Amino acid sequence: MMRPLMAEHVKRDLVSIGDLSTAEILELFHHADEFRANLHAWSDLCRGAIMATLFFEPSTRTRLSFESAMLRLGGGVISAADTESSSRAKGESLADTVRVVGGSYADILVVRHPEDGAARVAARYATVPVINGGDGAHEHPTQTLCDLYTLWKEKGRLQGLEVVLCGDLRYSRTIHSFCYALARFGANIVTMPYPGFELPDYVLRRLDREFGVRAASASVGDLPGLADSSNAVAYLTASKPHQLALFTKLGNVEVSRIDAIYMTRAQLERHDSQDTTTDYPRVTPSTLRAASTKDASIMHPLPRVDEISYDLDDDPRSIYFRQAELGVPMRMALMAFLLGKIQLRAKQPDLLSVSPGISGGVGLRCRNEKCITNNEGVRYLERDFRLREKTSPPALSCAFCESELEARFIGHSASRIVHRHNAAEVRQIKPDNRVYFESEAQAEAAGFTWQAT
């Protein structure tokens, strides 16, 4: 039964899958089931609400799925789906766009943008809820909700599932969000990347830091079209830490059963010019004849190119079109929640667990050239970092795109003197007075004086 809105509704955004707690996700699944039972029965729930889709990258399913979901809830839709016909072509910033569109124009925004971290910028500047419809190679949390929902309905559970992620794992924002969610739900992940397109280091570090997930080499037997000698197959799990240490030292994890194969296309729009994808992996009927894939569901966020044979479309194990279909009730549930039309009993995530931001205005620069802070954000964003681990040297991540770096030098904002991170003098600098740098040259360029220790 839907719960009515409480008297006061606090703005919530969905920029990362981490913006929802595990319990909230499960509760949204049940709401999605209610919506799906009769898609035509909810046209009064969000009557009068307007959703704006601000898509600065091409999209078919995501945009139409959101628009269909809002219309089925009884709301209205306005759209900016063509970059060339929007004010961005004139040089308007994303921050200005969301400040104008959010509020009197629309009650909720769905943003898709080619720059990593753009959705976080939109959420910071908009006065209405913002949903990340995909930001560069960073995250795509609503696709992950649809994927999890589909897998949950297909298998009846998420914990303990063996899920293969295959293809372009480096640039697939869907994969990054999906990894974090699978880890939270206690699923095990087998990565089969196209050579050179492995999971980014910052994703692996976050999996380790937040979920205790570690990687070991893996063997999955004969999977024609997917696994061969060129693949760096890895097994990511937090479920058997003592065994994992043993596997890491002495041999492979043998994966004898696969519950799902999640295939991704080559994200050519984000590849460098020198990248090649010759012999890209492909799921074919022969892949599913392996003993380990007997009960494996085949998933794909779509659009596909040639990664999955059309011969598999009628195989009951192929559920990629079901993923797309379930996207509508899942997004109905999400938008009804963010608009305050339904209330979740579940506890929200502890958003205060992240340390306060560290200004990078005079020091640090995000190393990700595709981060919004290194592109349009140069004009108006103050660089912002999070101290992720109290390691030596300190590990920090960009608050927008999450790319990580090591601060090997720390300066005092008042004295303008910089020290090595492990110098005794650093312990005397209050956290609010610390300025972080990756290199001595970076510190000197910012006007800090080197003091040898």
Question: Do 276 and 230 contact (CB within 8 A), yes or no?
Answer: no
Q: Which residues of 385-414 are buried (b: 16+ CB within 10 A; e: fewer)?
A: bbbbeeeebbbbbbbbbbbbbebbbbbbee
Report the pLDDT value the prediction gives residue 65, as an integer from 0 to 100. Answer: 95
**315 pLDDT higher than 70:** yes
pLDDT digits (tens, 9 = 90+) for 166-224: 988 988 888 999 999 999 999 999 998 888 888 988 888 889 888 888 888 777 777 87
Report the pLDDT value the prediction gives residue 262, as an integer from 0 to 100. Answer: 93
Q: Which CATH number fits domain 353-450: 3.40.50.300, 2.40.100.20, 2.60.34.10, 2.30.30.20?
A: 2.30.30.20
Of 83-97, 373-387, 409-423, give the lowest mean pLDDT range: 83-97
Of 4-8, 62-66, 200-204, give the lowest mean pLDDT range: 4-8
Report the pLDDT value the prediction gives residue 210, as an integer from 0 to 100. Answer: 85
The Cα–Cα gap between 102 and 94 comes to 12
**241 pLDDT higher than 80:** no
At the second CATH level, the architecture of 154-315 is: 3-Layer(aba) Sandwich (3.40)
The Cα–Cα gap between 325 and 150 comes to 9
Q: Which helix (H) or strand (E) holds 324?
A: helix 320-338
Q: Write the DSSP assignment of 66-116 as a string of letters.
A: HHHHHHHTT-EEEEE--GGGSGGGGT--HHHHHHHHBTTTBSEEEEEESSB
Mean predicted confidence (pLDDT) in 263-286: 80
CA angle at 41 for the pair 38 and 45, rounded to the nearest 5°? 130
| Amino acid at site 146 | C
Report the pLDDT value the prediction gives residue 228, as an integer from 0 to 100. Answer: 62
- pLDDT interval class at 7 (50, 70, 90): very low
**239 pLDDT higher than 60:** no
**229 pLDDT higher than 60:** no
Question: Do 341 and 5 contact (CB within 8 A), yes or no?
Answer: yes
Tokens for 382, please give them: 């103050």
Residue with tokens 């012999």: 279
130-144, 230-244, 380-394 — most confident range: 130-144
Question: Do 400 and 380 contact (CB within 8 A), yes or no?
Answer: no
Mean predicted confidence (pLDDT) in 9-24: 92
- pLDDT interval class at 10 (50, 70, 90): confident
Tokens for 309, please give them: 């044979």
Report the pLDDT value the prediction gives residue 230, as an integer from 0 to 100. Answer: 59
**Which of helix, strand or coil describes residue 371?**
strand
The Cα–Cα gap between 381 and 118 comes to 11
What are the sequence ranges of the domains in the chain? 17-141+325-338, 154-315, 353-450
pLDDT digits (tens, 9 = 90+) for 352-392: 344 445 655 567 889 999 999 999 999 999 888 888 767 78
Q: Please list, in sequence order, all residues whose beta carbon lies within 8 angstroms of the beta carbon of residue 370, skipping any fewer than 6 positions away.
A: 115, 116, 136, 137, 270, 401
Q: Does domain 17-141+325-338 have CATH number 3.40.640.10?
A: no
The Cα–Cα gap between 83 and 58 comes to 9
- pLDDT interval class at 317 (50, 70, 90): very high
Q: Please list, in sequence order, all residues whose beta carbon lies within 8 angstroms of the beta carbon of residue 98, skipping any fewer than 6 positions away.
A: 54, 109, 111, 122, 125, 126, 130
Report the pLDDT value the prediction gives residue 244, as an integer from 0 to 100. Answer: 45
Report the pLDDT value the prediction gives residue 389, as an integer from 0 to 100. Answer: 67
Question: Do 368 and 374 contact (CB within 8 A), yes or no?
Answer: yes
Of 63-77, 256-270, 290-304, give the lowest mean pLDDT range: 256-270
Would the CATH topology of 17-141+325-338 be identical to that of 154-315?
A: yes
Q: Of 149, 211, 154, 155, give the one whose Cα is nearest residue 179.
A: 211
